[in-house]
Structure 1
Amino acid sequence: MSNIRRQSIFSSLLIYMGFAFGALNTYFFTKQGLFKPEEYGLIQAIININLVFFSICTLGAPAMMSRFFPYYDELPKKENDLFTFVLFSSFAGFIILCLLACFFQPLVVRKFQATSSLLIHYYYWILPYTFFYTIYYILEVQSYISKKAVAPSFLRETVHRLIVTFLIVLFVFKVINFDEMVKSYAFSYALLMFFLAAFLIKHGLLNFTFKISSVTKKHYKEILKMMLFVYTGGIIFYLGLNFDSINLTRQGGLEKSGIFTLSMYIASIISVPQRSIVAITSPHIATAWKEKNLKEISRIYSRSSINLLIISLFIFLNIWLNIDDAYIFLKINPTFIAGKYVIFILGLKFIIDMGTGVNAQMLHTSNFWKFEFITGVVLLFLTIPLNYWLTQKYDMVGAGIAGFISLTVYNIIRLWFIYYKFKMQPFTINSLKSVIVAAAIYGLVYFVSQTLSGLPAMIIRSTLFSLLFMVTVYFLKLTPDMEPVVNSIKKRLGIKTTQA
């Protein structure tokens, strides 16, 4: 577990460095006088629609990489055709995507022209964005299964945001106009793709062969069956996951979508460590399934749950303590303040999702990966009607509530299935203690700082809450991973440590 912990911490730090640039970009997009809300909404609409396009483009191949790589690893390097197979599958998927995009373009125009004409204008520019995003994603999975998680995390979370920062600066200083900025943004993942490919080639982790391997011949039926299920389930999952913002764009226009997306962005800060832990634990879980090491899987499941729960509570309550002062201090366009309570609802959604641990990774790397398809269908059939009805009734807050209900039910089903099949569940008494401790410390800090305002208030609240929460977690031993981290820091500072 120490290797997972070490990589997770390092990767999370790099990702948060990227989030600093992401926060800067979001600040520029939402500050009065620079961009219109609908222009910010357009960029976010491209990102959200890309995820649906991406699910069509992959043909389910990246998930197959995570599931079958332990078998391919037993082959001599020159005979390993896994990467080649996945790459060409995605090329075929992109051709299918282009045909579908052309076929459905008239329908998209009819549905979005009245409220989001800017999106119609840049509709086809989403395709190059999706192409380079997909190839980059495949290279990213190749890095993860090769246990090289830091480089792709740095590229995606930091370098990509730096590219966006560079485009914003060019726009602000009138070197390029908004049209040129959007078109340049459509190729932003191309640079990352080349960087990551070069990294993998340098470390000898990228192999091309056009000869079909013995593993592919032996498992091809199972591989194709999995790809079909994951492909269908992936489209359903990503459509369900992004339906809220897409539907809000259709009903309320790009301005409403921009406000909702800013709220989503702020809330998604909570989930940054989840990305690192998911990326790093997936190969370990896949190997443990192959070795039938259920004890190790259960340990990763439980540890991921308590660690992600504590982290999500820590970040969410820090955000919510300071949200009002942050809006004022950063001089955010008042239009965006309408999304404040969306942040609260989405924050709760992320806490529940993170607190349930790595259940998705356990399922799609196991022999029960077909259950991914079933839960994806459930998510879609919950999301679409709930989102459509609640958005009409409660606007952006309704979209947030729909997402909260859908993802909560989605995780409950997964928890039940894993317990039913493997008699594993991630929670302990420390899970309940963590929630109680976080709520109590939040209440204390909130009441003692009510009279404060501005930047000093944000610094005092955050410092007080963070210190009280971390010290309490440490002394109550709410997670077994806290003490080794503290001991590691003490060791670097030359302080005597205790044994973990």
Structure 2
Amino acid sequence: MGQIRKQAIFSSIVTYIGFLIGFINTYFFIKEGTFTPEQYGLTRLITDIGATFATFATLGVLSYIYRFFPYYKAHLRNEENDQFAWSFTISLFGFLLVAIVSVAFQPLIIRKFSARSPLLVDYFYWILPYTFGLLMFTLLESFAWYNHKSVTSSLLRETGVRVFQSLLIVFFLFQWIQFDLFVKLFTLSFVIVALILLFSLRKSTKLPFHFKVSTVSRRLSGRIVPYMMFIYGSQLITTIAQYIDSIFIAGLSPKGLADAGVYTLATFITNTIQVPQRSIIAATIPVLAASWREKNYSEIRRIYTRSSINLLLLSLLIFFIIWLNIDDFFSLLNINADYEAGKTVILILGISKIIDAGTGVNSQIIATSRLWKFDVLTSIVLLIFTIPLNYILVKNIGINGSAIANLVSFTIYNSLRLYFIQKKFSMQPFTWRTFYSLIIAIGLYFICNYLFADMHGWAGIILRSSVFGVLMILAIFGFKLTPDAQQLAKLTLERTQAVKKSK
């Protein structure tokens, strides 16, 4: 786990810097007297629909890169590698298909959203530039992971995009630009970072671009195409399930885009729980793919177990710090009162994120294995639950219904994957440490909540967070809940001593 731990730590640092910038951006979106909930909701719809469109446009090339890049790297010289050229061409063709379909379905969009979400109708076509930028960036990012540039790609995705959006917010608040221009420039966020990443990859790795069919492409074509199609179907289903909530809210919830804005804030807050997960995934995919190819099952089992306990501990730490301070957070930051309706959503989505984190890198283990077709089956099950649950619950109980649908659907989804990996590979990620971690974190939450119940303001937030965080860290080391904590502490101590000796 040394290489994975190193990359994950650096990526997590970069990602949390991005979240800090994102927090500042979000604050100005939701602060009383700045943007309206409808305007904030529009930015969420642009990103969600854009992400869905981008997944459609990939036509499965991301799975092609993740699965087969090790073969290209092992058997071809860099200048002979044709994988990037074919991936780029297929993605570009996919984007053109998405653009054509978007034009064809515009009348339907107008009918479904004009009453509750008129802003979405006005700016619907501007989702396409956002889609194109995200598509190109995601494609380049997958090559960056395999070329040991995951920190660079994380820096651009998590920080670069948000810095650009910060500038737009400043321009809007100072009335240097109107909201119309703000939205149009907002949709170019990923176009800019994609160009920067392309330049970085071309400079450092000499990213080859040619259409001469290589021996690897010719030899593996019979495996590549079926694999791409199966995983593509799974990715489509998963993406729809992930982003369908905001679309249903905009179309069915009483306040439309305003409710989508409230849900967006809740999603942003709970997404901080997943930052370590995203960083670890970026670092583990190449290692898992190589381990399957080398039949190194012990390494896969180790990654599975370690990722589960590490992500569970981090998610519990982050979630309980959020929930301990949620009331003071809303009152101190002068947030528009409409957003307080999202507190229950934060609780429900937070539990969902903990469950997802605690099951480790199950999706990546299946997707990089010989039994990757099961990925499609679980994704179909996810969609079967997600769409009807969202439709029924959003229509009847609003945004809380969408959060409940998310919790139920993703719990079933992860449970199926856990069972499958246990059945087929005799691997499961849980140990006694899992149970202890849950009990300790919940117990510390109630202790801190009781001790500091009467403390409010910034002093209360700082004290509650500090005490809970310190007690959690002491428990992690005291009960030896994760081997990585001990190894990280040992490594830090050795480096500190080495620095002292060098002086």
Same fold, TM exceeding 0.5?
A: yes
Distance 1:408 1:97 in 2: 31
Structure 1 position 38 matched with structure 2 position 38 = yes
Corresponding residue for residue 8 of structure 1: 8
TM value normalised by structure 2: 0.97
Task: Indicate the larger mover: 424-433 or 223-232.
Answer: 223-232
Kept in 2, the 8 Å contact 1:301–1:426? The answer is yes
Structure 1 position 25 matched with structure 2 position 25 = yes
Structure 1 position 424 matched with structure 2 position 427 = yes
Kept in 1, the 8 Å contact 2:309–2:430? The answer is yes
Distance 2:3 2:220 in 1: 31
Corresponding residue for residue 97 of structure 1: 98
DSSP 3-state at the match of 2:399: helix
Matches for 1:58-69 after TM superposition, within 5 Å: 58-69=58-69
Structure 1 position 168 matched with structure 2 position 169 = yes
Distance 2:64 2:238 in 1: 16
Q: 1:134-192 CA distances to partner (integer Å, 9 max, x unpaired)?
A: 01111100001122210000100011100000000000111100000000011111110
The AA in structure 1 aligned to 2:118 is S
Question: Following TM superposition, by how much is the alpha carbon of 1:493 offset from its aligned partner in structure 2, in angstroms?
Answer: 4.0
Gaps in structure 1 of 5+ consecutive residues: none
Q: 1:19-74 CA distances to partner (integer Å, 9 max, x unpaired)?
A: 10000000000000010000000000001111110111000101110001111012
Structure 1 position 124 matched with structure 2 position 125 = yes
Distance 1:285 1:338 in 2: 42
Kept in 2, the 8 Å contact 1:146–1:205? The answer is no
Distance 2:221 2:407 in 1: 38
Matches for 1:74-473 after TM superposition, within 5 Å: 74=74, 75-252=76-253, 253-473=256-476
Kept in 2, the 8 Å contact 1:56–1:93? The answer is yes
Q: 1:378-412 CA distances to partner (integer Å, 9 max, x unpaired)?
A: 11110011111111222111110000000000000
Q: Size of the alignment, in residue pairs?
A: 497
Aligned sequence identity (%): 44
Question: Following TM superposition, by how much is the alpha carbon of 1:488 offset from its aligned partner in structure 2, in angstroms?
Answer: 3.0
Task: Indicate the larger mover: 185-194 or 13-22.
Answer: 185-194
DSSP 3-state at the match of 2:377: helix
DSSP 3-state at the match of 1:424: coil
DSSP 3-state at the match of 1:478: coil
Question: Following TM superposition, by how much is the alpha carbon of 1:495 offset from its aligned partner in structure 2, in angstroms?
Answer: 9.4
Kept in 1, the 8 Å contact 2:147–2:205? The answer is no
Task: Indicate the larger mover: 428-437 or 231-240.
Answer: 231-240
Kept in 1, the 8 Å contact 2:421–2:428? The answer is yes
Distance 2:441 2:268 in 1: 22
Distance 1:242 1:466 in 2: 32
Distance 2:345 2:149 in 1: 36
The AA in structure 1 aligned to 2:51 is L
Kept in 2, the 8 Å contact 1:490–1:496? The answer is no
TM value normalised by structure 1: 0.98
The AA in structure 1 aligned to 2:43 is I
The AA in structure 2 aligned to 1:57 is A
Distance 1:148 1:419 in 2: 33
Question: Following TM superposition, by how much is the alpha carbon of 1:496 offset from its aligned partner in structure 2, in angstroms?
Answer: 12
Question: Following TM superposition, by how much is the alpha carbon of 1:205 offset from its aligned partner in structure 2, in angstroms?
Answer: 4.6
DSSP 3-state at the match of 2:115: coil
Tell me the C-alpha RMSD between the 2 structures: 1.3
Distance 1:206 1:311 in 2: 36
Gaps in structure 2 of 5+ consecutive residues: none
The AA in structure 1 aligned to 2:447 is L
